[in-house]
Structure 1
Amino acid sequence: MDYLKKILKYALPYKKYAFLNIICNVFYALFSTLAMVSLIPMINVIFDKNTQITTKPIYTGVSDLKDFFADSFNYTITSKLTNDGAESTLFFMVTIIISLFLLKNFFGYLAMYFITFLRNGLLKDIRNELFNKIVTLPIAYFSEKRKGDVISRVVSDVGEVQHSFLSILELLVREPLTILFAIVAMLFLSVKLTLFVFIFIPVAGLIISAIGKKLKKQSELAQKERGVYLSILEESIQGLKIIKSYNAENRFFNIFKSSTQRLFGFNNDLMNRQNLASPTSEFLGVVTIATLLWYGGHMVLIEETLSGGSFIGFMALAYQILTPAKAISKASYSVKRGNASAERVLEIIETVNPLKDSSTSKEISSFEKELTFKNVSFKYEDDYVLKNFSITIEKGKTVALVGQSGSGKSTIANLAPRYYDVTKGEILIDNTNIKNLKTSSVRSLMSIVAQDSILFNDTIKENLLVGKQDATDQEIEEALNIANAWEFIKDLPNGINTNVGDSGNKFSGGQKQRLSIARAVLKNPPIMILDEATSALDTESERLVQVALENMMKNRTSIVIAHRLSTIQNADTIIVMHKGEIAEQGNHTELLAKNGIYRKLVEMQSFE
């Protein structure tokens, strides 16, 4: 229950529905018991003439309350039988019973009606909280996480928590109240017989508890495996071209099949253990009823301490306890499963964000002087990928980073907008450490155009509005013109309202990249970061994109990470990276004159 207790805070906005549910459940349990109790006087009057009362009972005190109620009902039935006849009396009694059952089911419906708003509200709010946490956590958090596992937590785990929350309410309110009212009525009829029933309840509870002990562990294994197969599915769809090009369909099918086979085993163990609860509780209930038939029959026929009508009513009440008892056993299993899911959901929600702004973080609205990397070192795990990196980029200047793969270029692009925090050193904007600034305001000063064009399955317009949410159609068109993208968009039937498809697959690589550039242009930030923005393009696309990038970089401070050196010859400063450190620094002409690493890189690409 520990994790599910933490989930309770999400129910607070819907507490009025919980109260209404409890009130309706009280009436449900009450009328459920009264419906059974109402059978007793009718049976006694119809089948046992000696119990007919012709004199109106007089209330003499609490000690005689039981006899007063029973005699009053008998008197009413007897009077009606004498005055109106058997048929009218029978109709009257049947009407009472139908009315009580109607009220029972009416309040049962209302209880479920109100709880629906709480359950679905809880589901909505937890999913919203979970998604918000997912998009605000640093990128490093997901570097070792399976995307399918995260999706599984948002979809199936939250659904399991919602289901378990209803089970808790049943466990705490509806079913216990039904049992409580039934037991009160049973005590009212026969204390001796009721105490006899209590002998079997602890035994049944121990047996059911033993069955459910391993349920949480089995549920946790099943939920984790769901995350695995969802990850395999997501990765297979994403890499479908690669799978097909290598004829690897069978390989990936076998990987997926292995996961579903494991899930098959976990689910079988889980469901078989859960399904055992209902027949076990029902069998124990039937044993109890059979024992009551023997013992109660002895009281009616031999001892004559209990009337036939009271015994039949008692048996009906005893059997009525079975249904809520079974529901409680099922609910307790649901709670155990839900606890495992709640643990997985709360693991993400309660993760501390190391990049979270502090209460003293300041806003920054403009970039005035310079962006500085001061003795910056960084490591993802054990080994440093960046060592003592220092550079000052003045406003309006362009700095290019070149070097072989793994030299730390892209790491710099990730540290500037604070996707990661530096391990050592500091990054300053206008002499203020970005750790002391609000992360959102730091990122508002920057736009990144990466090697991979990330487009969302929506229209061109909606993809660009990510850069500036209140942009007009005219501003979007201007951004597309700067990015050399308007030339292919203007001829589309729906123009900027054309859907780009999944990951933008309706367009070529060069077109997608120009749309990414347009999005960055629309944001209009003072600092641009270009992370190998043309390396994946063909020659013609590269030319168009390069012109778009040059248009975008005018009057902006730019950090350009380039693989093709021809694209950065006009940079104010070129920094040559080698194994995480600055090997050479200067402009194109100065670096060529040094006859070092940069010259070799230029000659290699010229030869190619």
Structure 2
Amino acid sequence: MLKHYPLLRSLALYRFMPFRFLLTAILFIMANIGLALQQYSIGHALDTLKHSQPETLFQHAVTDPLNPWFWFILLTSIALLRAIIQYLAGLSALTIGQQLLSILRERIFSQVQHLDVSWHWKHGLGEVLSRTTRDSDKLKEALINFWRQVFESSLVVAATVGLLCWYHPWLGLVPLVFIFLGLWILFKLTNQLVALDHQVAHAYEKVSDTLAESVNGVRVVKAFQLEDKLLQRFNHAVDTFIQHSIQTIRTSAKRLPIPQIIIACSYLWVIAFGAYLIGQNQLQVGQFVAAVLMANLLVFRIESIGQVLHIFADARSSATRIWQMLDEQSAILDAPQPVSIQYQDGLNIKLDNVSFQDKTTQKYILKQCHVEFRAGEIVTIVGKTGSGKTTLMNLLNRFIDPTEGNVLIGSDQYGWTNIKDLSLIELRYLVQIIPQENFFFSGTLADNLRIAKQDATEQEMREALHLASASELLQRLEHGLDTLIGDKGVTLSGGQKQRIALARSILKNSPILALDDSTSALDSTTEKQVLQRLSALSENTHHLKKTIIINSNKQTTIALSDRIIVLDQGQIIAQGTHLELVQHCPFYRELMGFQLQQQEIEA
């Protein structure tokens, strides 16, 4: 039910701070009761002053309600007490606002972390940043102003109309009609502002995306001299954002005065009808002054609602986008009752008639693939660009799930288990995928290595770097393992990044290691050295036999492979050793022959 009302749904966040919520509500109620008493006291003070005698003016000033000084003292006391309460209420509301902002951002961050990889492929960084910053800030402002409108303006309106009706029914009922008419127009305007804010938000995301791309792709920008082009693109995105923002402001500025004028008519009514009641001896002068002051306060409060409704319109749009993200369900769900898998020497993994269909294009990227990867062997997957090699890799640790068929893990000795029955934590420990483009966090080399194993010793890290042929790199770093490698490893070359990424995966010691073209930046000698060490590691009786799966068309990799899988247009058309495939697979001969020609040209 509340899914259709995202702003109301956001109010449920107050449940995380019930005591402060209740305290703030009580403080606002007290502050506004005090405001109504102030207006009432002014009227009584004037009426008692009119009928008092000079010689008795200072007699029993504190205790006699017929003495005007009693009302002036009471008025002053109420004003001072109300100021203190108002300060405490505002401070409490601001504190709640910051806590709500923190909760919102934590929930958005947590949601982004738990959503599957395919969601991240479809949504840009600008969208995530917009939800975390602009949309969260706007929703926080609305939730803070919620107090002002519900516990301040609404109470003032109720108390003011109540007192006016107490003086005379028509004195309060007619302004109430004007108020409802003005608010109805304001709410109609709000719907238009929500639609306009969607355009503003989309333009803001374009600004964030352009900025993020220019920073993340700084090397490409410099290499292709794209500075001026990106600057023009960024300026265009900013100009579009400003135009939509101005359009929203103009729409608000044009139409807000209409309901405000209607509401202001209630003030004129109180003055005119109040004067008539005085002439009919149905209203005293002090009551008339109090009524005028209350009507003025009423108009001021309702006009402020118009400004706040603009904030609510923006927040409603922002809340819709935030809850859309928070309601997203990951396509990759953890097993409800995960099982544990048994293994001793190593683990096998196999695709059992697996097909994968792209939901966007409805095209099958993989078709009925059946292949087993066994412990202790190096298997290389070859194929043309777009043949489905990376998609096959992503199936192994459930970055994506197959459309048809199953991915099984285990062995004939201990039995086979569907990887969907394992917890994601266990599966991604068992199957470690190293992508071609690796990510490094800002920090030291040791910090990035310990992502794989938090309690890794210095000796373990050095051994992993040695196996990844990165010992020479470590020696060249001024502070060794404590060297800061910069944001995303900006101080490292492509080959250095790949070797450190390999070392990080080796340190994790997963039984299944999948290299998704993750040695592409290594020279042939270094690549051969790395693969030979990994192969020796698998055969070493002191270590677990590893299942090594490599996506690569490089001759160095193929030469060290125990078996080669040939993919073409999403289908496994052949598998075997290099010599077997050269003899029996024309497609493989064509693929390798073309590659050899390219290598000869490059040489």
Q: Normalising by the residue count of structure 2, what TM-score does the alignment of the two structures yield?
A: 0.88
1:518 aligned residue = 503
Residue type at the aligned position of 1:501: G
Query: How far did 1:263 drift?
Result: 1.9
**1:417 paired residue among 363, 388, 397:** 397
* Map 1:40-439 → 2, pairs under 5 A: 40-49=43-52, 76=64, 89=69, 94-275=72-253, 279=257, 283-300=261-278, 302-364=279-341, 366=343, 368-380=346-358, 381-430=361-410, 431-439=416-424
**1:20 paired residue among 19, 23, 44:** 23
Q: Residues 548 and 456 of structure 1: is their aligned pair in 2 closer, same or farther, counting only changes over 3 Å?
A: farther
Aligned to 2:559, what secondary structure does the other structure show?
A: coil
1:34 aligned residue = 37
CA contact (8 A) 2:267 2:299 kept: no
Provide, for residues 5-58 of structure 1, a one-character-per-residue CA deviation record: whole Å limited to 9, x for no partner. Answer: 33233321112211111111110111111122222232233344479999x9xx
Distance 1:272 1:352 in 2: 38
1:503 equivalent to 2:488? Answer yes
Aligned to 1:177, what secondary structure does the other structure show?
A: helix
Provide, for residues 326-351 of structure 1, a one-character-per-residue CA deviation record: whole Å limited to 9, x for no partner. Answer: 33333333333222111111112112
Aligned to 2:17, what secondary structure does the other structure show?
A: helix
CA contact (8 A) 1:364 1:438 kept: no
Q: Residues 406 and 78 of structure 1: is their aligned pair in 2 closer, same or farther, counting only changes over 3 Å?
A: closer
Query: How far did 1:192 drift?
Result: 4.1
Query: How far did 1:158 drift?
Result: 1.9
Q: Residues 32 and 547 of structure 1: is their aligned pair in 2 closer, same or farther, counting only changes over 3 Å?
A: farther
Distance 2:268 2:285 in 1: 16
Q: Residues 98 and 281 of structure 1: is their aligned pair in 2 closer, same or farther, counting only changes over 3 Å?
A: farther
**2:513 paired residue among 498, 519, 528:** 528
Query: How far did 1:282 drift?
Result: 5.0
Q: Residues 533 and 76 of structure 1: is their aligned pair in 2 closer, same or farther, counting only changes over 3 Å?
A: same
What percentage of residue pairs aligned between the two structures are identical? Answer: 26
Distance 1:590 1:467 in 2: 38
Provide, for residues 475-525 of structure 1, a one-character-per-residue CA deviation record: whole Å limited to 9, x for no partner. Answer: 333322332334333453443232221221111112111111121012110
Q: Residues 169 and 586 of structure 1: is their aligned pair in 2 closer, same or farther, counting only changes over 3 Å?
A: same
Aligned to 1:372, what secondary structure does the other structure show?
A: strand
2:12 aligned residue = 9
Distance 1:305 1:495 in 2: 92
**2:549 paired residue among 541, 547, 559:** 559
Residue type at the aligned position of 2:144: L
- Matched residues, number: 581
Residue type at the aligned position of 1:345: I
Aligned to 1:361, what secondary structure does the other structure show?
A: coil
Distance 2:154 2:25 in 1: 12
Distance 2:496 2:504 in 1: 12
CA contact (8 A) 2:386 2:569 kept: yes
CA contact (8 A) 1:517 1:549 kept: no
Distance 1:493 1:346 in 2: 48
Query: How far did 1:547 drift?
Result: 6.0
Bigger shift: 394-403 or 5-14? Answer: 5-14
Query: How far did 1:539 drift?
Result: 5.3
Aligned to 2:318, what secondary structure does the other structure show?
A: helix
Query: How far did 1:294 drift?
Result: 2.7
Query: How far did 1:152 drift?
Result: 0.9
Q: Residues 202 and 581 of structure 1: is their aligned pair in 2 closer, same or farther, counting only changes over 3 Å?
A: closer
1:579 equivalent to 2:540? Answer no
Distance 1:254 1:18 in 2: 48
CA contact (8 A) 1:364 1:441 kept: no
CA contact (8 A) 1:377 1:423 kept: yes
Structure 2 gaps of 5+ residues are 411-415, 540-544
Provide, for residues 84-137 of structure 1, a one-character-per-residue CA deviation record: whole Å limited to 9, x for no partner. Answer: xxxxx5xx7655333212221222222223333432232222222222222222
Distance 1:73 1:200 in 2: 41
CA contact (8 A) 1:377 1:388 kept: yes
Query: How far did 1:429 drift?
Result: 0.4
Structure 1 gaps of 5+ residues are 57-71, 82-88
Distance 2:160 2:488 in 1: 61
Distance 2:365 2:581 in 1: 24
Distance 2:309 2:128 in 1: 26
